[in-house]
């Protein structure tokens, strides 16, 4: 807080010009080993650390990357936030970068926020997530040609480097899993139309059903905003269908709707997993501990954060993005009792095998 050792002080102590010290520190020049050693010794002896700000001013870079994300509603934890952030911090730090986090605001204010961070030179680039079709922030960054990478793609005219989870594939995996268990009447709890992620996921449901030559009945597709309540209500409706069309399995587009679905199943005296199969999406940490444990789809969050960050920093340092420019990764289907009815989790816990 008090003192700050500067290049000049080090230089005068070491008996050289301060510019020479700078060059030694940055390995910019060949220098007599004797002087070099003397300089390094004084540096450590005096505890010199270059001023981040002064360096930034000179090189015109902040070595800082901006990130913001949409906060979860209070009743709903963000299952991947912690890991995603940590993976980005870690990979960024290894290359000398840090993340500047800023609040998530209403659209117009948010745009100003981005502008401000760009114009003040506070960040060199952004990471952007939870995109939707017409994301004004992405448009701004593209228009300004400001560097960024995205978690999530957008199939409009804008092109930018991104990594996305193949939600369609994930749901297809879930449906195929249910088909392999013998289910034929499979319903889905989907998001409203026109959400980028939602459309992608439900596409997997339709394509898997089509591949199995099962006609999807319109009443099997329930839509809503992804909450517990929607899952509960929609499933209650589904279960009231006549015997011939009543689904025996439910594929939810997120865990919370799946949890609601299980509650609805229990409400009418049936047993989730045994009587009606349920799957979710996200593999919320508590999914394992639900009753019954929930079959869900897990995203390779750590890898995504790491790859995004590596690509972004490579771009900042070299001026071009490494391949692949766009990457689509598969989620992993985590099978638990809610779809199979077999309580293997508990068995394994008792045998002490599940959590070595």
Interface with a second copy (CB under 8 A), residue from 31, 35, 85, 221: 85
By CB under 8 A, is residue 355 in contact with a second copy? Answer: yes
Are 242 and 131 in contact, with CB atoms under 8 Å apart? no
Are 228 and 236 in contact, with CB atoms under 8 Å apart? no
Pick what 100 binds: a second copy, DNA, none; C-beta below 5 to 8 Å, kind-dependent.
a second copy
By CB under 8 A, is residue 83 in contact with a second copy? Answer: yes
Pick what 29 binds: DNA, a second copy, none; C-beta below 5 to 8 Å, kind-dependent.
DNA
By CB under 8 A, is residue 53 in contact with a second copy? Answer: yes
Are 46 and 13 in contact, with CB atoms under 8 Å apart? yes
Structure tokens given for 57:
């001013």
- Of the candidate spans 51-59, 182-190, 244-252, 253-261, the one that interacts with DNA by CB under 7 A turns out to be 51-59
| Interior/surface letters 259-285, b for 16+ CB within 10 angstroms, e for the rest | bbbbbbbeeeeeebbeebbbbbbbbbe
- Of the candidate spans 46-54, 133-141, 216-224, 231-239, the one that interacts with DNA by CB under 7 A turns out to be 46-54
| Interior/surface letters 181-193, b for 16+ CB within 10 angstroms, e for the rest | eebebbbbbbbee
Pick what 77 binds: DNA, a second copy, none; C-beta below 5 to 8 Å, kind-dependent.
a second copy
Name every residue whose Cβ is closer than 8 Å to that of residue 319 and which is 6 or more positions away in sequence. none
For a second copy, the binding residues (CB under 8 A) are: 1-2, 4, 47, 49-54, 56-57, 62, 64, 68, 71-72, 74-79, 81-83, 85-86, 89-90, 93, 98-104, 113, 116, 118-122, 144-147, 228-229, 232, 256, 259-260, 262-263, 266-267, 284-286, 288-291, 346, 349, 355
């Amino acid at each position: 807080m008090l003192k700050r050792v500067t290049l000049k002080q080090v230089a005068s102590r070491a008996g050289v010009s301060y510019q020479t010290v700078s060059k030694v520190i940055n390995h910019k020049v060949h220098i007599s080993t004797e002087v070099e050693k003397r300089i390094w010794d004084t540096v450590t002896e005096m505890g010199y650390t270059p001023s981040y700000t002064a360096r930034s001013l000179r090189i015109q870079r902040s070595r800082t990357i901006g990130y913001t994300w949409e906060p979860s509603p209070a009743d709903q934890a963000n299952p991947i936030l912690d890991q995603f952030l940590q993976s980005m911090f870690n990979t960024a730090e290894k290359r000398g970068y840090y993340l500047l986090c800023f609040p998530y605001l209403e659209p117009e204010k948010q745009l100003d926020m981005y502008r401000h961070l760009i114009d003040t030179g506070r960040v060199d680039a952004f990471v952007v997530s939870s995109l939707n079709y017409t994301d004004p922030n992405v448009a701004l960054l593209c228009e300004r040609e400001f560097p960024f990478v995205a978690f999530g793609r957008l199939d409009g005219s804008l092109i930018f480097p991104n990594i996305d989870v193949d939600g369609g594939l994930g749901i297809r995996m879930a449906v195929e899993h249910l088909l392999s268990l013998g289910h034929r009447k499979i319903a889905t709890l989907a998001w409203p139309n026109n959400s980028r992620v939602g459309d992608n996921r439900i596409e997997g449901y339709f394509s898997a059903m089509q591949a199995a030559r099962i006609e999807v009945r319109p009443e099997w597709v329930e839509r809503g905003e992804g909450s517990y309540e929607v899952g509960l209500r929609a499933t209650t409706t589904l279960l009231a269908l006549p015997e011939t069309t009543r689904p025996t399995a439910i594929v939810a587009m997120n865990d919370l709707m799946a949890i609601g679905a299980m509650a609805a199943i229990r409400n009418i005296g049936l047993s989730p997993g045994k009587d009606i199969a349920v799957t979710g999406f996200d593999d919320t940490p508590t999914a394992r501990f639900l009753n019954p444990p929930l079959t869900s789809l897990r995203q390779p969050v750590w890898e995504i954060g790491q790859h995004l960050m590596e690509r972004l920093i490579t771009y900042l340092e070299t001026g071009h993005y490494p391949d692949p420019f766009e990457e689509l990764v598969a989620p992993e289907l985590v099978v638990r009792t809610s779809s199979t009815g077999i309580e293997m989790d508990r068995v394994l816990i008792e045998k002490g095998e599940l959590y070595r």
